Chain A
Amino acid sequence: QVQLVQSGAEVKKPGSSVKVSCKASGGTFSSYDISWVRQAPGQGLQWMGGIIPIFATANYAQRFQGRVTLTTDESTSTAYMELRSLRSEDTAVYYCARLIAAAGHFDSWGQGTLVTVSS
């Protein structure tokens, strides 16, 4: 059973950046397809992008292109999501999740990381 554990809550100023981590255990990290999904307060789920460590190539949702970077560190089985040029609308809970690529669903989720953007 895959477990994903995320870093703690962050408070950031508008215009700054945030980097959230997601540490995986149980299974072969390099073959995972890790996506990031965010949820603004009281809102639905929004896919941001995904990355497969063994390929080290990420794909991003159009709306986040140029502002988000996904990376992985295979030595620590950790995935990272960096979001730049933060604005108040980026206040949300950010989740990492493992995508089962053959079927397109997320079978394991991190606990979520609240990022608050406020001056």
Chain B
Amino acid sequence: EIVLTQSPGTLSLSPGERATLSCRASQSVSSSYLAWYQQKPGQAPRLLIYGASSRATGIPDRFSGSGSGTDFTLTISRLEPEDFAVYYCQQYGETFGQGTKVEIK
């Protein structure tokens, strides 16, 4: 069973700063099946990135994904107020990371 470990658990940043979130897999995974989601309190998760680096429909270009093998990264180039949320990585449907909370510093 593949385990996804996200780091850090919490990221404290100010609007306008760059956020770098990590997702590490316990074994190599296909980048075709690596996705990222954003979740705000009281809302369902929203797809941001699929195939490790493709933005979902309507997602601003300040969000980008990269990586391969066991190490993947979600980058938010300049944080907007609406970007403060919890982010999850996911590998082919069944496996989610534990999440990274991006909070306002």
Contact = CB atoms under 8 A, between A and B. Distances in A.
Given A47-B93, A47-B95, A104-B92, A110 B32 contact: no
Contacts of A37: 96
B94 A105 contact: no
Interface residues on B, range: 20 to 34
Contact of A107 (B47, B91, B92, B96): B47
B64 interface: no
Interface string A88-108: 000000010101100111110
Nearest to A59: B94
Interface of chain A: mostly helix, strand, loop or mixed: strand
Contact of B35 (A47, A61, A105, A112): A105
Contacts of A45: 37, 45, 88, 90, 96, 99
Interface in B87-105: 88, 90-99
The number of chain A residues touching the other chain, given as a range, is: 20 to 34
Contact of A103 (B44, B50, B96): B50
Interface in B46-101: 46-47, 50-51, 56, 88, 90-99
B100 to A, nearest CB: 11
Interface of A: 35, 37, 44-47, 50, 61, 95, 97, 99-100, 103-107, 109-112
